[in-house]
Structure 1
Amino acid sequence: MLRFDETDKYELKEILNDALPKEIETYLNTEGGGHIYIGVNKIGEVVGITKGKLDETMLKVGDVITDQVLPKCTEYVHVHHEVIENKDVIIIDIKRGNKLYYQKKYGMTPKGCHYRVGTKCQEMTPEEIEKRFIASLNIPEPDICEMESHRQDLTFQILKNYLITHNYHFNDKTFETNLRLRTSSGKYNYMAFMLADKNDIVINVATFATTDKSKYLKRDEFGGVCLLYAMEKAKDYVESSYNQTFIKLGEGSRKEKKVFNNEAFEQAWYNACVHNKWSESNNPGIYIYSDRLEIESRGSIPARMSKEDFYRGVSNPVNKKLFDIFKTCGFGEESGHGVPTIVSIYGEKAYRFTESYINVIIPFDKSGFDNDDGDAKHPRNIQETSKKHPRNIQEEIYELMKSNQTLTMKDIMKILNISEGSARHNIKKLKDEGRIEHKGSTKSGYWKTK
């Protein structure tokens, strides 16, 4: 029988209880962090999570991390599940944070702030709390190039394909070094995880029926794949699904008008993805309302930059290396023209700043040509129609397979947000047309595109 020992780095818990917030903030405040095992008793025996309660317990652990410990600590806490001796065990891996952490219930008081001494949670004195808090104010933002990825089994074929397409020549031996995909200690960093062929980053496009969030319609997810690809697919989906084109035909003339400006949307979306504070584990998202779309990203105007400088396009990237990769791959603003472009079209009111988020608001104009009298000489020849660009699922799958030959059926369904039936149908059509061929076994094979 496997036995565990409780030490200064390992806390054993037979069941989830009210002590978890204290144990989490304790390890966040302790050099080297620690690990909490739920489903292992104090004498080291694996007892497991109560049968049928795993998902519920995982959700409760997540709620504790996000709601009961301050300040936000999700970037330093990783929760996962393992089966040990045929029993479910929840493991919480905690790294030392860069701030003073405390329980929301007690605030920054000795009862709310602890550090680990042996197997005990030691209360901090008021003097220690003050000293740690002041010290935390001077710590710079975490660098995603120095944050270690929790996964080290990463590949980068999709990223390489983007670079090749944009004439970036690289040597496989120096590829990871030149793009700074590893930390100074040699481990894959969080930026590498974001750009890897497979990851667990999800970008949401949420749709609401009204001008607020009172009536939710649906959510489309893009992710599990290289950020560049997921970002581009989310953009394409929004443009094809929501940016209706009105066409007005007259004698010898043709006018087109869209619901929103594509260039402004693309610049806002690329900026949100590259300048997002990824170190805080908050992903950018797109919210569709009946009268507008909003792009939300984690962050704020950089310190020592005025709003005037921001609107003028003064560049101060949050993630400098990621910014360079975006530009090399053809995404993002060039010469700081992204923000000025958006402001020139929609005005400064397009931006809304809060303490932690930047929102770009792009209004919809669904009036078509209602306010345009057109050619008065030929009023009957004037037509107003609308068109939407349907998705070509078959081509999307083909392009996806060209970018990553090892994708599984589930990967394709998740990335393209399609059903299993749709995936199988379109893959069969590609096979029948001789454009793709599967080599090897179902589990370890790959797709060959022609």
Structure 2
Amino acid sequence: MPETNRIEYKAQLTKDLDLEKEVVAFLNYHEGGLVYIGVDKNGNTLGVADPDADMLKIKDRIKNNIAPSAMGLFDVVAEEKDGQPIIKIIVASGSEKPYFKKKYGMTEKGCYLRIGTAAEPMPRKMIEELFASRTRNSIGKIKANRQDLSFAQLRIYYEEKRKPLNQQFKKNLELLTPQGDINYAGYLLADENNVSIKVAKYKGTTRADLAESNEYGYGSLIKATKSVLDKIELENRTLTQITSKERLEKRLWNRIALREAIINAFVHNDYTREIAPKFEIFQDRIEITSAGALPEGLSEPEFFEGYSVPRNKELMRVFKDVDLVEQLGSGIPRILKTYGKECFQFSANFLRMVFPSAEPVNTTDQVTDQASDQVDWQSLVDTYLAIKNGVEPNQVNFLEWLQTNIQIILHELQESFRITSGKLQESFGKGFEIPKILGSENTSGKPSYKKLPNSFIILMLLAMDATITAEEISVLIGISERAVFSNLDKLKNANLIERVGGRKEGYWQIIEQE
């Protein structure tokens, strides 16, 4: 493929290569673009000798040599082409144009624009016009109405990814205004705020009859995002059809598309209007609504092509750091793999995504034994999610809580997966006896429990949370990640679980027994 208005090739990364010029040109271009390192001008693959080292250099150069800050507006990924490693730099169109090389400032030698297949100097008049119209009402510029904010949750999310935050993290993550106050992005990511996120469930196809309302938020936006993901994952039940030849399973909604839509709503919502995204489940569909029209300069066709113009680059950067976002511009194409363009509804003030259900959503409020069991189970899962998404659960208390609710979990394993007490004993050994693990009162009147195998504890966690990670399991039950993987292997070998999908997008699925 030859170079285009959105693709630039560079043979290798050197000190003499003016990489900053190419990146600045794409930041100032309304479609953004891609820079490939390890490919010559004719599109021939040359490869990169040390991709990891070059990727670090690229990130440092873009971070330190370009203004305004491009953090959250670019991504650097390793790829393979013709059997050789290359580097792809994804650059989004920025909202604070004109971008420029710090060395030369906001001059014709510092500002560039992509024209055809070249980065051309920006005329002085264009520089002045862009600066005059630069977006000033962004969450990075707005001072938070509270300055007494703490960030314990944010620190934990970064520590989970082995990226501990230092004392300068508010400045490094751009959570401060130019005057040094905590900005609105910082407010959204703080331990406490007044942002309410609602997940509503209706009995029919209109908003006339509310069946259930859950409220999240009032804390770190990352925690709220994870809570909404977990809640809707619980609602996204598996449908099973057994034919003479095979067993067919599918979800109410495609899991990957649904996850992308939820995260997209959080990251691209226009918080300057003080309106949060909302999530609504109807009998025949799920609706995800975020505030704000398409960013200025981005057309609907460009939106569907996956061109990225992040509204909140500060949030985009943090969400990417904690692995909630993978690559810039990847979300919409993933949604379109399952749902057509007609699922998107654009207006002057909102963007709504509507995914039809594979079959009617169960919203009955009739109380039967089965429904009562489901209420107990859902209540248990909601409590678990609150513990999991808390600042840092106490391991002993969590394990005690898990064991006191073991009867509900055993019932769910039996009802949903046909995992009997016999199968559990076969998998975990003769010493695994249901009466013993259910506990009995000791002389002090308190329940006395038999210590549970870690592999069984992990099985219980997977029953409540298919998307839980090895890191999260490690924190919850107090064992190393290596031990977690060892126990997951035991469950796989016992034919109790299987991995569906890849490492980042995949999940563990409990196997329904014959």
Cα distance in 2 for partners of 1:311, 1:169 equals 36
- Specify whether residues 197 and 367 from structure 1 end up closer, same or farther in structure 2 by C-alpha distance, changes over 3 A only: closer
1:396 Cα deviation from its structure 2 partner: 3.2
1:239 shift after superposition:
1.8
Larger mean CA deviation between 275-284 and 389-398 belongs to 389-398
Q: Name the SS of the counterpart of 1:324 in structure 2.
A: helix
In 1, Cα distance between the equivalents of 2:389 and 2:157? 12
Distance 1:166 1:277 in 2: 27
Contact 1:197 1:404 in 2 (8 A): no
Q: Is the 8 A contact 1:342 1:350 kept in 2?
A: no
Q: 2:182 maps to what in 1?
A: 188
Q: Contact 1:207/1:217 (CA < 8 Å) preserved in 2? A: yes
Structure 1 residue 367: deviation in Å? Answer: 7.4
8 A contact 1:267–1:333 mirrored in 2: no
Structure 2 counterpart of 1:281 = 274
Change (3 A) 1:192 1:208: same
Find the residue that maps to 2:338 and give its secondary structure.
helix
8 Å contact kept, 2:227–2:385: no
Q: Is the 8 A contact 1:276 1:297 kept in 2?
A: yes
The residue that corresponds to 1:226 in the other structure is 220
Whole-angstrom distance in 2 between the partners of 1:255 and 1:139 = 53
How many Å apart are 1:393 and its aligned residue? 4.7
Deviations 1:393-436 (A, max 9, x none): 5543443445388xxxxxxxxxxxxxxxxxxxxxxxxx9989xx
The alignment's TM-score, normalised by the length of structure 2, stands at 0.46
Is 2:151 aligned against 1:162? no
Q: Distance in 1 between matches of 2:266 and 2:390?
A: 24
SS in 2 for 1:270: helix
CA distance in 2, matches of 1:265, 1:273: 13
Q: Choose from 303, 308, 311 the match for 2:304.
A: 311
| CA shift in 2, pair 1:301/1:335, >3 Å | same
Which residue among 297, 312, 333 is the counterpart of 1:340? 333
Judge conservation of contact 2:287–2:354 (CA < 8 Å) in 1: yes
Residue 357 and residue 166 in structure 1: after superposition, are their counterparts in 2 closer, same or farther (change >3 A)?
same
Q: CA deviation at 1:207?
A: 1.9
**Aligned partner of 2:213: which letter?**
R
The CA deviation at 1:218 is 3.1
In structure 1, the residue matched to 2:191 is 197
Structure-2 change in CA distance of 1:302 and 1:243 (3 Å): same
Identity of aligned residues (%): 28
Alignment match of 2:142 (pick from 147, 151, 157): 147
For residue 138 of structure 1, report the CA deviation from its aligned partner. 5.0
For 1:256, the aligned partner's letter is E
Aligned partners of 1:328 and 1:253: how far apart in 2? 41
For structure 2, the 5+ residue unaligned runs are 1-131, 362-373, 395-446, 452-475, 479-514
Specify which of 291, 298, 318 is matched with residue 291 of structure 2: 298
Aligned length: 257
Match of 1:392 among 376, 381, 388: 381
How far the C-alpha of 1:227 sits from its partner, in A, is: 0.6
CA RMSD of aligned residues (A): 3.0
1:237 aligns with: 231
Matched with 1:262 is 255
Match of 2:400 in 1: none
> What residue identity is the alignment partner of 2:281?
I
Instruction: Write the letter of the residue equivalent to 1:234.
Output: V
Structure 2 residue matching 1:392: 3-state secondary structure? helix
Distance change (3 Å), C-alpha of 1:320 and 1:394? closer
Unaligned segments of structure 1, at least 5 residues: 1-136, 369-386, 406-430, 435-447
- Tell me by how many angstroms 1:228 deviates: 0.6
Shift of 1:324: 0.8
Residues 251 and 402 of structure 1: is their aligned pair in 2 closer, same or farther, counting only changes over 3 Å? farther
Equivalent position of 1:320 in the other structure: 313
Which runs of structure 2 are paired with 1:38-117 in the superposition (5 Å)?
A: none
Other-structure match for 1:272: 265
Secondary structure of the residue that 2:240 maps to in structure 1?
strand
How many angstroms does 1:298 deviate by? 0.7
Q: Tell me if the contact between 2:152 and 2:391 (Cα under 8 Å) persists in the aligned partners.
A: no
Give the counterpart of 2:209 among 215, 233, 236: 215
